[in-house]
Amino acid sequence: MEKALIIKDLVAGYNNKIILKKISFDVPKGMITAIVGGSGSGKSTILKHLIGLLKPLSGEIITKGYDLTKLDEKDLNKYRKSMGVLFQGSALLNSLTIEENVALPIREHSKLNESTIKIMVKMKLDLVGLSGFGNFYPSQLSGGMKKRAGIARAMALDPELIFFDEPQAGLDPITASGLDFLIMKLRDLFKMTVVVVTHELHSLFTIADKIIHLDKGELIFDGTKEEFKRSENPKIVNFINRIPEEENYCPEDYFNILTAE
């Protein structure tokens, strides 16, 4: 199976605090890989490394034969052009219409004629079910529509690789389900490689071909969703059954936290 990304022994952190502890896994090409885990597990940190926003302390992220972590800004920008990202808050520019938001990356990164761009933008908006909303501003759209507009913009440059950061966050179940189908459509129709950071179980079991589970910066599962469901790892069983973890520090630790300078 061809690999779009190979993550090798990735160690990452902020301010001397290690967040990712020697993580290794592959992202298969043309499939949906879901990265799951509770809050603070390191899933957003790994996403930031995969899109080249952060440099790790050590380790490699290999794509098309080169190591992302070693690229200079110029080559990183080339990589970024080959991928799209839907950020949690959609990250649309509020002063631009939806059409202008989607057209922005095309105008920035290509020398296409304006009339070609206009047609492309209409195609992207139709793909996400937003035909007729091009002249709306982000503030005039619902949460689900904003996400769709964000996907249209992420799709603007026909990326081979697309990242979603908690796409279902804040959406009602029906809208979230519609988004799941859209993500699967991107895989099936455009053969895109999709990486989704999520903690929505229903979405996970609907869309994921492969699941990576992080727990406190460690990789505790790497496999298919069927294997995930059968896992006997207590942390995964708790995750699936939505059982919160017990506080694992003693009163002495708590006292130390409260009195630390």
Q: Which residues bind other proteins (CB under 8 A)?
A: 106, 109-113, 115-117, 119-120, 123-124, 126-127, 157-158, 189-191
| Distance of alpha carbon 78 from alpha carbon 99, whole angstroms | 24
Q: Find how far residue 87's CA is from the centre of its chain.
A: 7
Nearest approach, Cβ of 106 to other proteins (angstroms)? 8
Closest approach, Cβ 142 to other proteins, in A, equals 25
Query: 3 or 81: whose CB is closer to other proteins?
Result: 81
Residue 6: partners with Cβ closer than 8 Å, 6 or more residues away: 26, 27, 60, 61, 62, 63
**DSSP string covering 97-153, please?**
-HHHHHHHHHHHH----HHHHHHHHHHHHHHTT-TT-TT--GGGS-HHHHHHHHHHH
Query: Shortest gap between Cβ of 103 and other proteins (angstroms)?
Result: 12
Residue among 8 and 109 whose Cβ is closer to other proteins: 109
**In the block, which residue shows the tokens 């294997």?**
227
Residue 120 Cβ vs other proteins, minimum distance, rounded to whole Å: 4
Rounded CA-CA distance 151/179 in Å is 10
Of 161 and 214, CB closest to other proteins: 161
CB nearer other proteins, residue 189 or residue 260: 189
Q: How far is the CB of 105 from other proteins (least distance, A)?
A: 11
Q: Report the alpha-carbon distance of residue 152 to residue 127 in Å, rounded.
A: 8
Given the complex with other proteins, which of 119 and 243 has the nearer CB atom? 119
